[in-house]
């Protein structure tokens, strides 16, 4: 595939979501990582893209999304595998240090961290209004939220792709969930969520993934990141041995709650 054609493929991939990962480009272009890096460097010099950790995003502002997300609405998802999610949330909260800053991405599993954060006096950046409501009961917890539009199905605040809406806030740890996890990586069902989570990943020193064992399925979706970008994965005792082996083989620290 000639360079001009590869550039058109990259531009088309970015047009769909505003962000594309290196793994997706390798599959789309059938080219070496070195070739893809040169293509991205050339497009960045031309002002067409911005290279970021794990891939590239479109330059400039993207159209604002409609206020609807794909996937199961929050009020339905919250009741699924609740015991496992509570155990995962408690184990994840135990990774937080008193007084530190953390980022907690919206989700029904990450929400279960909140009851265990009361005495830690954390600074928490979150895009979830459910998590904000849970943390408001904790006088010692400082809460920060990004700017953007509220998506009612998930009660989450998201900005358009390519728009940096985050406060100037450094947090070493990011706690996030996923719609599915497999050998291809961490997936979400909605491209708007993917773009938002990539912005959080780019700010994090440590990515901690919270998923119950039912999320290890063969599924289609948009890849948020490869497993090799995850530092710690917290799940429940229902994880199958082959899935545990896959996680460890990717160099991820596995915690079974």
Of 131 and 50, the one with more pLDDT = 131
- pLDDT tens-digit series, residues 70-102: 455 666 677 788 999 999 999 999 999 999 999
Question: Residue 17: its pLDDT value, please?
Answer: 62
What is the pLDDT confidence band of residue 60, given thresholds at 50, 70 and 90?
Answer: low
Tokens 């911005």 map to which residue? 50
Residue found under tokens 């491209």:
191
pLDDT value, residue 74: 61
User: Domains in the chain, ordered, with CATH?
Assistant: 3-58 (1.10.10.10), 74-256 (3.40.50.1360)
Local confidence band at 69 (pLDDT 50, 70, 90 cut-offs)? very low
- Quick one: which of 169, 168, 144, 170 has its CA closest to 157? 144
Choice among 31-35, 66-70, 120-124 with the minimum mean pLDDT:
66-70
- Compute the distance between CA of residue 157 and CA of residue 225 in angstroms, rounded to an integer: 21
Greater confidence, 46 or 251? 251
Residue of higher predicted confidence among 245 and 163: 245
pLDDT above 70: residue 160: no
Which positions ≥6 away from 157 have C-beta within 8 Å? 127, 128, 129, 145, 146, 147, 148, 149, 150, 151
pLDDT in tens, 140-154: 999 999 887 787 766
- 172-227 residue pLDDT tens: 899 999 989 999 899 987 777 787 888 889 889 999 999 999 999 876 678 899 99
């Amino acid at each position: 595939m000639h360079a001009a054609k590869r550039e058109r493929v990259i531009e088309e991939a970015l047009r769909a979501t505003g962000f594309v990962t290196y793994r997706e480009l390798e599959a789309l272009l059938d080219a070496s990582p070195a070739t893809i890096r040169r293509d991205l460097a050339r497009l960045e010099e031309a002002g067409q893209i911005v290279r970021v950790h794990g891939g590239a995003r479109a330059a400039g502002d993207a159209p604002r999304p409609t206020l609807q997300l794909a996937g199961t609405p929050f009020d339905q998802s919250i009741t699924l595998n609740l015991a496992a999610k509570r155990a995962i949330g408690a184990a994840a909260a135990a990774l937080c240090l008193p007084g530190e800053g953390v980022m907690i991405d919206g989700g029904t599993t990450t929400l279960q961290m909140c009851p265990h954060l009361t005495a830690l006096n954390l600074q928490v950046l979150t895009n979830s209004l459910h998590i904000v409501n849970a943390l408001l009961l904790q006088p010692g917890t400082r809460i920060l939220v990004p700017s953007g539009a509220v998506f009612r199905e998930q009660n989450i605040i998201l900005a358009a792709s390519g728009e940096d809406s985050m406060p100037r806030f450094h947090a070493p740890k990011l706690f996030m969930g996923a719609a599915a996890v497999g050998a291809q990586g961490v997936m979400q069902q909605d491209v708007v969520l993917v773009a938002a989570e990539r912005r959080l990943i780019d700010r994090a020193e440590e990515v901690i993934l919270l998923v119950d064992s039912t999320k290890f399925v063969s599924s289609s979706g948009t890849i948020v990141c490869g497993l090799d970008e995850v530092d710690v994965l917290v799940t429940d005792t229902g994880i199958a041995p082959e899935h545990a082996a896959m996680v460890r083989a990717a160099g991820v620290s596995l915690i079974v709650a």
